[in-house]
Amino acid sequence: MWLALAILGPIEVHAQTTPDTLWIQLNEVTLAGDTMPALRFCPSMDWDTVNVSFYVNVGQSYEVVVFNGDSVDHGFELGVAGWSAVNLPAGESTVVELPELLEGSYRYGLSSERGRVLGAAGVIVAGFDALPHFHWNLGDWEPARMWGVANGGAVDPEAPYVPRQFTVNDRIFPNTLNDPFGHVQIGVGTSCYITIANQGSMDHVLHFHGFHVEVLQASQHPERVGWTKDTMPFLQGEVTVVRLDAFQAGMYPVHNHNLIAVTNAGLYPGGMITHLNIAP
Amino acid sequence: MNMLMHFPKCFAAFRWVMLLCGGLALAPSLAMGQALPPQLYSEMDGIHFLDDGSSVTIWGYGWVTDGFITLPGPLLTYNEGQSVDLNFVNPSPESHTIHLHGLDVDQANDGVPATSFLVPTGGDAVYSFVADQAGTFLYHCHVTTTLHLTMGMYGMILVKRPDQTLFEGGPAYTEDAPFLFSDLEVATNLDPVGSFPFHDIRPDVFMINGKQGSQLEAEDERVWSAPGDTVALRLGSMAYSRVRCHFPPELHAVCHMSDGRALPESFAVDSLDIFPGERFTILVAPEEGFEGAVSCDYWNMIDPGIEDTQHIHFGALPSSVQALGDFGAACGYPNPASRWYHPAGAASGASNGFEGEVVVTDAQGRECFRGVLQNGRLDVSAWPNGAYVARCGDRQPTRFVVAH
């Protein structure tokens, strides 16, 4: 099974590819000069700085093997009502049964503080496959806090949070434009879905230039389904799906409007910015 | 989009001339006495007074004809369907832009330096777009946005319908009450060069329309309503904070729009979160005699907790003022006004076809002006802040605000 997964390679946009094994790996990432420890759900034994997000069919259950390559036990959590975290012993493989999912996008990750702070989290998309589907996992990172947790410490709840890096799919701008899963590139007159998951330790808010989008799902703002917005919040852990109808061509930024988050280690522009690239 | 480079680098002298001449130096083709089209300009040496009497430096926008910048920038008001050429000139020491937040303009007019264009020192530009959706929008500089916003380079845009309804098929209302939430960090405004790194910016002044605390209790800052009035609260945020508004039940607040779009279903609202960049339109119908406030909590987005609370105060107008007229579509311009007000609706100085006597009364019904307009406009620069009613012959009376 692991061998089969090892040759799958990166998950393609709206490819409906479901991995049969996820590898939790501990390593380091460097963003704009800040090196920090990181936990990732990788698609193979090889270290990958980007968490896997993947697509499943609606109403179909799956078995996924999760190998915990970290030195401590973790719990696999899934943003589905009634779901109980599955224990993942350190250094072992565990079979996780994913339930039959309704159409929607769901956050998965690790339930421990260590898992959250070090960034092991992705999304599972069920359905929403009639159009190209992109996804944005939003992250915020304070290296000092991450090093403390990686070295066995706990987050001091009294300490102010001072994130220095802000990411979309574990990338900072302008590297976000090299992301085939996040950099929206479609033609004028066409449409796409975008899943947006806040995997960070604070709330975020994104503003779309050039377009309004229709909210199809907002896990913590259900009253907003059906709204048409250009700026929308994403609470911690929230997963949102929007539909973009590309009525005009051009290059349009999408960025965090809490403007500390459009920086890389304090430098503007950077961080949580990507583009909508609408071809004529 | 049309960017022209008209001006020499010696903009210090140019600025002096510009301000001295009320902007006529910007348009040499216009004869003296001929009114200019409205034109925004930017500056980086404004002074903004806080509630405690201290002041901070601001960067911002103002009307060329006013000759000063404000925080927030001037309210821009357009009619639904209007083709707009927004004129902008930048005599300030750094490049700036105008991003038309939420208006879904094309890339060329989007105001993002990397994908659109910069307006450098001494340059000017025209941002062209069609205001095809009624609603509440924002504008702000998109150059080094983290810094330029906290320094004050933002304002609100209203796109209105002539029938005084919120949107096609939507509810009618009596008047608009625009409120823009924002915040700033005093240390940054006092020393913008030393503000790096930007991710450390933590606001410590929290404002509504640039005001705070007791400043918001002033009569001219309140929402005044007469029995039967329905007021459209145009709420938008340029803050770094999440703003949670609490609406007293006596307001009967109903949310109808967000981000310049009608909601599928309006809903009664007692509290509402407004995140940075969001806008909401809330209709309130204050109960007769209601004098209270919408409290607005500013939540830290990073370490959640309430940093401050500001208030939108309401006051009750005597019913005699309501009887002054059935206020239909407001056509005057600009509203609020600080120097010139065009009661008949022509921003360019023409009288919009109206040549008769104009009568203006204040909120207490006292006559403030009676006469024929000169160049289609009233000089309100010396008028007290407050709400006024203008009657132009048989036309529907319109309500406007003077705010300095």
Helix (H) or strand (E) holding B150: helix B145-150
Best A203, A259, A264, A276 residue to mutate vs chain B (most B CBs within 10 Å):
A259
Q: What is the tens place of the pLDDT at every residue in A202-243?
A: 999 999 999 999 999 999 999 999 999 999 999 999 999 999
A222 and A119 within one domain: no
How many residues make up chain B in this entry? 404
Range of A53's domain? Answer: 2-129
Say which of B107, B197, B303 has its CB closest to residue A250: B107
A229 interfacial to chain B (CB closer than 8 Å): yes
A170 and A74 within one domain: no
Residue A68's nearest CA partner among A24, A27, A121 is: A24
Q: What is the CATH number of the domain that holds A7?
A: 2.60.40.420
A194 and A243 within one domain: yes
Q: What is the tens place of the pLDDT at every residue in A240-277?
A: 999 999 999 999 999 999 999 999 999 999 999 999 99
A158 interfacial to chain B (CB closer than 8 Å): no
Task: Look up the pTM and report it.
Answer: 0.84
CA distance to partner chain A, nearest, from residue B316 (Å): 33
Write the CB contacts of B258 (distance below 8 Å, at least 6 apart in sequence). A227, A229, B278, B279, B280, B281
Candidate CATH numbers 3.40.50.300, 3.90.25.10, 2.60.120.1090, 2.60.40.420; the one for domain B2-160: 2.60.40.420
Best B129, B199, B200 residue to mutate vs chain A (most A CBs within 10 Å):
B199
In the structure encoding, which two tokens stand for residue A173, read together? Answer: 């701008």
Domain count for chain A, please give it.
2
Say which of B101, B200, B261 has its CB closest to residue A228: B261
Task: Examine residue A145 and state whether it is found in any structural domain, yes or no.
Answer: no
Could you list the mean pLDDT of each consecutive 10-residue stretch along chain B, which spans 404 residues?
A: 35 40 39 63 97 97 94 97 97 98 98 97 97 98 96 98 96 96 97 89 97 94 92 98 98 98 98 98 96 97 96 83 43 74 60 73 80 82 82 78 76
CA distance to partner chain A, nearest, from residue B102 (Å): 6
CA distance to partner chain A, nearest, from residue B275 (Å): 6
Candidate CATH numbers 3.40.50.1820, 3.40.50.10540, 3.30.360.10, 2.60.40.420; the one for domain B175-321: 2.60.40.420
Chain A residue closest in CA terms to B267: A223
**Per-residue exposure over B64-91, b if at least 16 CB sit within 10 Å of its own CB, e if not:** bbbbebbbbbbbbbbbbeeebebbbbbb
Q: What is the tens place of the pLDDT at every residue in A142-182?
A: 999 999 999 999 999 999 999 999 999 999 999 999 999 99
Task: Provide the percentage of residues in chain A whose pLDDT is more than 70.
Answer: 94
In the structure encoding, which two tokens stand for residue B217, read together? Answer: 């209790």
Residue A101 has pLDDT above 80, yes or no: yes
A271 and A183 within one domain: yes
A70 and A24 within one domain: yes
The pLDDT of residue B355 is 74
Domain ranges of chain B: 2-160, 175-321, 328-402
How many residues make up chain A in this entry? 280
B266 interfacial to chain A (CB closer than 8 Å): no
Say which of B112, B261, B264 has its CB closest to residue A253: B112
Write the CB contacts of B228 (distance below 8 Å, at least 6 apart in sequence). B174, B322
- Whether residue A265 and residue B303 make contact (CB cut-off 8 A), yes or no, is no
In the structure encoding, which two tokens stand for residue B268, read together? Answer: 């009664």
| ipTM of model over 0.90 | yes
Q: How far apart are CA B201 and CA A233, in angstroms?
A: 20
The pLDDT of residue A149 is 98
Q: What is the tens place of the pLDDT at every residue in A64-87?
A: 999 999 999 999 999 999 999 999
